[in-house]
Amino acid sequence: MRRVLEFIRKTFRRFRCLKMSGVSRDAPLGVQSLQKLSGIFCPRLQMNRVLLYQVTVLALTYFTYMTYHLTRKPISVVKSVLHRNCSELPPPPGVDPSDDQWCNWAPFNTSDANTLLGTLDSAFLFSYAGAMFVSGMVAERVDLRYFLSLGMLVSASFCYLFGIAKTYGIHHISYYLLVQAGAGVAQTTGWPGTVAIVGKWFGHTKKGLIFGIWNSHTSLGNILGTLMASAFVERDWALSFVYPAAAMGAVGLLVFLFLPPEPRCVGVVLPGVAERESHPSRSDDEEEATEVIVGDQTASLRPNRYSANTQHSEEATENTALLTPRGSSSQSSAISLSRAVSIPGVMEFSLSLFFAKLVSYTFLYWLPLYINTSTHLPPSQSGHLSTVFDVGGIAGAIAAGLVADWSGCPGLVCVAFYVVSAPFLLVYQRWGATSYWLNVTLLVITGALVNAPYSLITTAVSTELGTHSSLAGNAQALATVTAIIDGTGSVGAAIGPMLAGVVSSSGTWSYVFYMLITCDVMALLLLLRVVKHEIIKLRQERRLISPRVVRIE
């Protein structure tokens, strides 16, 4: 008994000490609890705190944005049952056989149902695109943990509201439009929030491969959303929305409890951050390659950069982690929208993403229906087959990030994918429906080619531009720059599905693919100026040409 009482006393002493020091009050509640428990039961445990937090942030933000796409995908699967060819189904007793719309859900039981379904997509995507610019600026000025968790709760609520329309027999088109528009606004919290958090935790390290792997959350969310919706679409399509909404709410709770939005919140600073804040980065002109001559020896000091952005390769270790006092003035102020737009490369990549995202989101919203129409597979199998496109997208995103890290030329990498993607879209349209396995093979390749540049621009390129040297190390620009690039792309994402709905109403899908090929060509042309500068940079590095020579005696 005495030993038990002594153990309780020691435990409370440790707890009181931990309350006085060692546990950051700015940390999320779940993190504070884990810190206290580890201090009580494992006081001598040594670990690399920075690495542990970085892995935690990557995992939580990965599942966070995965659920955003998890709740976007069901509508593309449910389209195939909201309106279908009733002549292929046996009519139930009491149904007029001459009624060719008996199996469709009002208000989509009309001949122009594809246009109405395209309008639903547009309601979501236009509200998403318009709210994205505002959301990015708001994200810079609030706690990102609250921003994300609240956004996830609201997004899950709108997804649930769409599903219960089936349960309560709601047939007013205005209801569906309002729900989709509200969901679009709520979903804007996801991208600037997650990218800004990951960017703050990984500093200036090469992020092409990291973001390439991390960005698979988009494709994984699409795949899981499709499988989840397909499991219920023919039985009760309301559940195709209810279960994804529940999953998003659960992950939102984890984000609120355990996601540290920046290193300062848990009492650490990444190596080199303090130095960059004390000594702002030099301008682009000053960051060009320099040859240092020491006596008769010449050493080339050449920074490895993404286009015009300086790359700093850093390793975060426990030995260099520093405690930062609360109330520190190290946090940079938010920047204006006009200043973010003036960053070199932001407009080129934003406009290129406009067309790249138009192509990607047209596939996102219309691929299951196209497969159902072109192959005559049932809705559930069409949804399953469409997930192969996202599997290819994961491989393409990783490959693009790896090549971009190796070459330091993301614009050139994007253009290379655009060049191959445009003709391959025509190949898929011509021969995709020939056989099931040929369809699978072509979908994997098409998904890789279409999603690779889209993924690279929205992740690694956005983060690099958000920490451009002209911002003097201001990490607060991440959310705004990300929102500008992704918001511009989202306008294209809104236009694409709407045009696809109108064009496909004519009864032929060939014109939809011609439209997508044209968009790929436009995305390519908009990056030619960026590619020109990247090629010049590569030639200078190959010839070891330096504009300045510094002699050290």
pLDDT for the residue 142: 86
Q: Could you tell me the CA-to-CA distances from 314 to 289, 317, 466 in Å, in that order?
A: 19, 10, 18
- Collapsing DSSP to helix, strand or coil, 378 comes out as coil
Cβ-proximal residues to 434 (8 Å cutoff; 6+ apart), any chain: none
Share of the chain above pLDDT 90, in %: 22
pLDDT band at 13 (very low <50, low <70, confident <90, very high): low
In this predicted structure, what is the pLDDT of residue 163?
Answer: 92
Whether pLDDT at 14 is above 60: no
Least-confidence region, from 117-121, 243-247, 412-416, 529-533: 117-121
Would you call 35 helix, strand, or coil by DSSP? helix
User: In the predicted model, what is the mean pLDDT of residues 298-314?
Assistant: 39
Q: Give the residue carrying structure tokens 């195709």.
A: 240
According to DSSP, the residues that pair with 548 across neighbouring strands are 290
Mean pLDDT of all residues in 223-248: 90
How does pLDDT run across 429-446, given as a tens digit for each residue? 888 888 889 989 999 999
282-307: buried (b, 16+ CB within 10 Å) or exposed (e) per residue? Answer: eeeeeebbbbeeeeeeeeeeeeebbb
* 8-28 mean pLDDT: 53
What is the C-alpha separation between 231 and 394, in angstroms, rounded? 23
Cβ contact 353:489 at 8 Å? yes
Q: Residues, the chain, total? A: 553
**pLDDT for residue 230:** 87
Cα–Cα distance for residue pair 439/441, rounded to 1 Å: 6
> What sign has the CA pseudo-torsion 508, 173, 218, 358?
positive
What is the percentage of the chain residues whose pLDDT exceeds 70?
73
pTM over 0.75: no
> Which domains occur in the chain, in start order?
51-85+105-268+340-542 (1.20.1250.20)
Residue 312 one-letter amino acid: H
3-class state of residue 292 by DSSP: strand
Amino acid at 6: E
Q: Quickly state the pLDDT bin for 289 (edges 50, 70, 90).
A: very low
CB-count burial class (<10 Å; 0-12, 13-18, 19+) for 43: exposed
Query: What is the C-alpha to C-alpha distance for residues 172 and 186, in angstroms, rounded to an integer?
Result: 22
> What tens digit of pLDDT does each residue of 119-140 get?
888 888 889 888 988 888 888 7
Report the C-alpha gap between 196 and 24 in whole angstroms: 21
CA-CA-CA-CA dihedral for 272, 273, 275, 276, to nearest 10: 110
Token representation of residue 234: 């023919």
Strands (E) across 159-312 are located at 290-294, 297-301, 305-306, 309-310
Which residues make beta-bridge pairs with 552?
294
Q: Report, as an integer, the average pLDDT of 48-57.
A: 83
With beta carbons less than 8 A apart as the criterion, state whether 350 and 526 touch.
no
Which of 1-10, 239-248, 326-335, 448-457 shows the lowest per-residue confidence on average (mean pLDDT)? 326-335
Query: Hey, is 218 helix, strand or coil?
Result: helix
Per DSSP, what are the bridge partners of residue 290?
Answer: 301, 548
Q: 251: pLDDT confidence band, cut at 50, 70 and 90? A: very high
How confident is residue 319, by pLDDT bands cut at 50, 70 and 90?
very low
Token couple for 247:
């999953």
Comparing 531 with 200, which gets the higher pLDDT?
Answer: 531
